[in-house]
Amino acid sequence: MRPLVAMYGCYIKVKLKQLYAMCLYTKYLLNKKYLPTRKNGYNPPTCNDERLKYVPIKCGKCMECRKQKKREWYIRLAEELKKHKGALFLTLTFNEDMYEEVRKAVNAGIRPTYEEENDMCRYAIRHWLELIRKRTGKSVKHWVITEKGEDYNRIHMHGIVWCSKEDVDAWRYGYTYIGDYVNGKTINYITKYMLKINENCPEFEGKIFCSQGIGRGYEKSTNARRNRYQGERTIETYKTEDGRELPMPKYYHDKIYSEEEREKLWIIKQERGYRYIGGEKCSTEDLEEWDNLTRYYQRRGVEVFGDRPDEWEKDMQRKRLERMRMARRRMREGSGVPGVLSRPEGREPAAPIINKATRG
Ligand SMILES: [Zn+2]
């Protein structure tokens, strides 16, 4: 089956895609709010509205999800930049000696795995930031992502940091490259690393290390007034400086709307009678059309964007085993690398859109 949107112009296609793209592997799970959990003292409220029984959970891996996450960071970094100018764009590398030193410091194997290499980056970043903090007494706001180089597969990092060039010089693990005019283009460029797949190592996933609360405060800004809850007329989009409308980052959505409002918005969306798959409008009453479109775009994700749905679950299990192995080795050798940076997993969890209680 051929998607309808091809009939409209490119412009519409792109715009719709951006606004309504949704995970192609969405799972509908029981809403934990209405299940006995520790949070509700094993005494859940009764679910009076069957429409709230299930919540959509994103896979976090498919191209649509990755684009969505990229846009969320783009918006949050742009908001941060509005408030705090003077950020630096950074590339941080390891030289051979330091690579070796850090490898030993985190007890990685002779030929570190991707997980171990990300761990090495986490270690180096943490020590570098700690050094600056000791000297200046301030913690550096940062957003850094790891990448494998195209030519030599060397691990390195790109990031945006709010600190001085002297602070950057405190990086003692290798070369640094500094770009000192950070604007929307820079943020767009840097968050694009989240979408990049290195053909030499398609399983490698760039890890994000960042300060907590990047972009905090939008929800209280005058721009956020257009987003206030107004029942069916609620505008749930974020408007960029140049007037483009983008989906609201979950980070802000959760701050702007109360749990009750989020439930109401979810019901409103369900009652609209349509939803979007790969940017195409599809009736919620027609499950066959939905199924066909989903499969069409899943195939397209595999062919065009390198989605590897069969591998994602395996990758995750492999990663968890790997982390357990690393933890055992650290315990044995008594050189535990302490809890690192702000968030142990390094990035926002792919969470359902309804309420915090349902976070996995
Ligand atoms: Zn997905």
**pLDDT tens for each residue of 8-24:** 434 444 444 555 668 99
Q: How far is the CA of 63 from the centre of ligand 1 (A)?
A: 7
Q: How far is the CA of 341 from the centre of ligand 1 (A)?
A: 26
Note the pLDDT of residue 20.
Answer: 60
Q: How far is the CA of 58 from the centre of ligand 1 (A)?
A: 5
Q: How far apart are the first and last CA of the chain?
A: 35
Which amino acid is residue 311, in one-letter code?
Answer: E
Note the pLDDT of residue 168.
Answer: 92
Report the DSSP beta bridge partners of residue 247: 237
Mean pLDDT of 335-359: 41
Q: How far is the CA of 84 from the centre of ligand 1 (A)?
A: 32
Q: How far is the CA of 21 from the centre of ligand 1 (A)?
A: 10
**pLDDT > 80? residue 335:** no
Q: How far is the CA of 159 from the centre of ligand 1 (A)?
A: 25
Q: How far is the C-alpha of 43 from the C-alpha of 45, rounded, in Å? A: 7
SS3 state at 239: strand
Local confidence band at 226 (pLDDT 50, 70, 90 cut-offs):
very high
| Interior angle at CA 317, CA 345 and CA 278, nearest 5 | 75
**pTM, rounded to two decimals:** 0.83
Mean pLDDT of 232-258: 93
**pLDDT > 90? residue 242:** no
